[in-house]
Amino acid sequence: MKPNFTIRPETLSALPAFVRVARLGSFRMAADQLGVSPSAVSQTLRALETRLGVRLLNRTTRRVGLTEAGERLLRRISPAIDTLNEALEEVESARERPAGLLRVNLPRAAWWLVAPRLPDFLARYPDVRVELFADDGLSDVISGGFDAGIRLGELLSQDMVALPLTPPLKMAVLGSPDYFRRHPPPQTPEDLAQHVCVHFRYSGSGKLVEWEFVRDGRVFEVEVGSRLIVNDGGTALDAALRGMGLAQLFEFATKEYEAAGRLVRVLEPFYLPFPGFFIYYPAREYLPPKLRVFVDWLREGA
């Protein structure tokens, strides 16, 4: 017969902090989410290890890792912690006014979807605080502690609720007038092999983004003269504006520069449409009010 073991309140209160640190691998990030200092989180977990008589965290690396005992504990208590969080969110959903911190993970290119209208959302829902985490590394929304994410349709995680925010999009190939004074404009996508091109690399996977086009209904990729590689769309745009080379950029991000004569697009008949941006979040029976109104607000503007 198992002994009747009562969990001490201080042990129980430390478990959510342990789960956040274990999932995020960082005292600072966990502290930001909990609204306390990193030192307070570290002290809480050291006290937990002392009470349990076993090390849970490996602090010898830059990213906080788990010992074998820590991995076992995380595996056993994670479902319970998630269930408790959902229960609390269900209770909070009974509140008439949405409130609390809303954390959204999004690529830098999607900032334009939110930024122009964000003052309206903050004015409409004064009890909601918004954290927008710009991330081109395709981080996992759940393990990162986010309420939702915004991604291109082709990059969505599985087993998520996904709602469209934009129609299909296209990538334009552009260069500055100065660049085209030094180089003749390409007439076909294959000509890009002879040009200086700004290539984009995903921060998370390290994969270079292929330059895709369509001709007579057939989708194809081309080798480009990749002399400059960046991991940020804003950097690629700036490089194109400075005449460093041709860049492949979202059409919506370049219109004002084209109108001002600072960028010139080429190869337009070959642009390939692809799924636009979606907002996505874990499927759950009760959607927190802060997330529900944010999703409705975003889709209303889209």
Q: Tell me the HSE value of 215 on the side-chain side, using a 13 A CA sphere.
A: 9
- What is the Cα–Cα distance from 248 to 172, expressed in whole angstroms? 5
Q: Do residues 138 and 156 touch, judged by C-beta distance below 8 A?
A: no
Structure-block tokens of residue 204:
């998370």
pLDDT, residue 202, reads: 76
Q: Does residue 90 surpass a pLDDT of 70?
A: no
Would you state the structure tokens that stand for residue 277, as one six-digit string?
Answer: 């941006």
Please say if the pLDDT value at position 295 is more than 60. yes
The answer to whether residue 155 scores a pLDDT higher than 70 is no
**Res. 156: pLDDT tops 70:** no
pLDDT at 93 over 60: no
Mean pLDDT of the chain: 86
Candidate ranges 86-100, 137-151, 179-193; pick with highest mean pLDDT: 179-193
- Residue 51's CB is within 10 A of a number of other CB atoms, namely 12
Whole-angstrom distance, CA of residue 5 vs CA of residue 8: 9
| Average pLDDT score over residue span 231-243 | 92
User: Residues 128-140: pLDDT tens digits?
Assistant: 999 998 877 666 7
- pTM across the whole model: 0.62
In terms of Cα–Cα distance, which of 260, 56, 246 is closest to 41?
Answer: 56
Q: Picking from 91-100, 111-120, 160-169, 227-236, which range would have the lowest pLDDT averaged per residue? A: 91-100
> What are the respective helix, strand and coil percentages of the chain, to the nearest 5?
45, 25, 35
Judged against a pLDDT cut of 80, whether residue 255 lies above it is answered with yes
Mean pLDDT of 67-77: 87
Q: Which two tokens stand for residue 53?
A: 């008589």
Type of residue numbered 22: A
Lowest mean per-residue pLDDT among 24-28, 61-65, 94-98: 94-98
Write down the pLDDT at residue 1. Answer: 45
16-47 pLDDT, tens digit each: 888 888 888 888 888 888 888 888 888 888 98
User: Which span out of 107-111, 131-135, 150-154, 178-182 was modeled with the highest average pLDDT?
Assistant: 178-182
Judge whether residue 82 has pLDDT over 90: no
Over residues 216-243, mean pLDDT: 92
> Which residues does residue 133 pair with via DSSP β-bridges, in sequence order?
105
